[in-house]
A and B are shown apart, each in its own frame.
Chain A
């Protein structure tokens, strides 16, 4: 019996005047990797932010391991979009990764040697140890994303939220990130990833959540990743290239 990690019920949220989430409900099982997919403006990022209390919700309930976000906070890691911070900030890669540990270090104390080692190990896992003391603005987009991933790893959480970690990264970074996601899964961690590339969904994720303001389908990739579900979620925003089962799907909104 696999226990459920996240329970979302009747969640709705608005962004300025527009309602972007309506009656969202789903349940995530432990040890799964879920892709959250949907067209632009479907509320993917907003869903994550609302679940983490970074965006106000109109109605609904979100619980983690049966308790509120506040009590579960320490076990949750969040990887925001790369564009959400200022990469000109005067600091280096290792320091950014160490920040993931600040919550555990506690008040009035500076990161210890052990903390630095932990951060360094996380960087190593992402293949970034050579860049540990590189100023962050001098990293490429893919390298910045790896630093963010390393920071989440250093947090050593049970549940991870990642907002478009594969957006605009090079092939080797994508591979490195996916290796880490698989490793997290095999360690029994749960991961939710906002994802934009439908083609790679069956290869990378064992669960899919189709979102367009509300949940269109959620379940194991094999079962729910069907032409029908994609078509209803994306509406007219789709382009089908190829024939038979060998089709390539492209979202025209990208």
Chain B
């Protein structure tokens, strides 16, 4: 009976981490081509103060409200990063490092205050921040699945617009696409994915859910469409598999196993990937070397022929 219940709960959690992985894999491709791989790391840290403030206001763990708090705070972080880079000589990585650590610091301050306040379910809050998918209840799962589904829908519905926006923004502008609008939409979708993912894998590992599947997919295809599909598949599969592994023992954390699963996929892709994989590249290099040696010999014989 108990094991059966556990099992059903595990299935629920697996379903939610899988759909989260799909959403993160898709949006990760957009972030990859926007050259903002580490932005997800900065934003997930920047979400912390918003989560705690939301908790301090409502005094209970309601996933949707925590997610809204997190999103607002992450958006504020994104704004600061953008502002610092555009209005001073601070580079983007410095701006990200500052924003993530200072926001996180403020979050830790607020957390200390929240943990002091009487009543309230602080342990739920801690689970939210450090990621404990197993601790999710059914309403959490539903919130997560709905939001992730919206994200996936937005990515896939505007496929060619995303491609244009990422590849050639000037041209996109020329044919009447609003770059500003696309940027806002991109940021909202990115932030949404990050904040719903925090619950499952935690603030720190969320970045991996976006980065690793996208980079792995890059090794198998040149088509943007295939890359997004493949990245989503890798993300979803890692989510489900990682959750399953962590459910086999008691007290095993979910997030790290998800991350290690996708890291394993990445390693395989890095070596054996069809495009730019190490093995393929080595063979190409050797072939080029040989062909240029042949060329050289040919040229030498031609030269020899001419001089005679």
Contact = CB atoms under 8 A, between A and B. Distances in A.
| A/B: CB atoms within 8 Å of each other | yes
Interface of A: 10, 12, 14, 17, 19, 22-23, 58-59, 88, 137
Contact of A19 (B89, B288, B299): B288
Interface stretch (B27-35, B60-68, B130-138, B290-298): B290-298
Contacts of B299: 23
A58 B288 contact: yes
Contacts of A59: 289, 292-293, 296
Contacts of B117: none
Which of the listed residues B89, B285, B288, B292 has the most CB atoms from chain A within 10 Å of its own CB? Answer: B292
B296 A10 contact: yes
| Size bracket, chain B contacts | 10 to 19
Nearest to A21: B292
Interface in B39-58: none
A252 B89 CA distance: 35
A94 to B, nearest CB: 21
Contacts of A19: 288, 292
Contacts of B82: none
Interface of B: 89, 284-285, 288-289, 292-293, 295-296, 299
9 contacts: A17-B284, A19-B288, A22-B295, A23-B299, A58-B285, A58-B288, A59-B292, A59-B293, A88-B89
A12 B288 CA distance: 10
A137 B74 CA distance: 33
Contacts of B288: 14, 19, 58
A22 B288 CA distance: 10
A137 B89 CA distance: 11
Contacts, number: 23
Contacts of A58: 285, 288-289, 292
A12 B89 CA distance: 39
A59 B143 CA distance: 59
Contact of B295 (A17, A23, A137): A23
A14 B286 CA distance: 12
Given A22-B292, A23-B296, A58-B289, 18 more contacts: A10-B296, A12-B292, A14-B285, A14-B288, A17-B284, A19-B288, A19-B292, A23-B292, A23-B295, A23-B299, A58-B285, A58-B288, A58-B292, A59-B289, A59-B292, A59-B293, A59-B296, A137-B89
Nearest to A14: B288
B293 to A, nearest CB: 6
B92 to A, nearest CB: 13
A17 B293 CA distance: 17
A23 B299 CA distance: 9
A57 to B, nearest CB: 10
Contacts of B295: 22-23
Contacts of A12: 292
Contacts of B285: 14, 58
B93 to A, nearest CB: 13
B298 to A, nearest CB: 9
A171 to B, nearest CB: 29
Contacts of A14: 285, 288
Contacts of A22: 292, 295
A23 B301 CA distance: 14
A90 to B, nearest CB: 10
Contacts of B296: 10, 23, 59
A176 B296 CA distance: 41
- Closest 8 A-B residue pairs measured CB to CB? A12-B292, A88-B89, A10-B296, A23-B296, A58-B289, A59-B292, A23-B295, A23-B299
B276 to A, nearest CB: 8
Contacts of A88: 89
Contacts of A23: 292, 295-296, 299
Which of the listed residues B284, B296, B299 has the most CB atoms from chain A within 10 Å of its own CB? Answer: B296
A174 B199 CA distance: 61
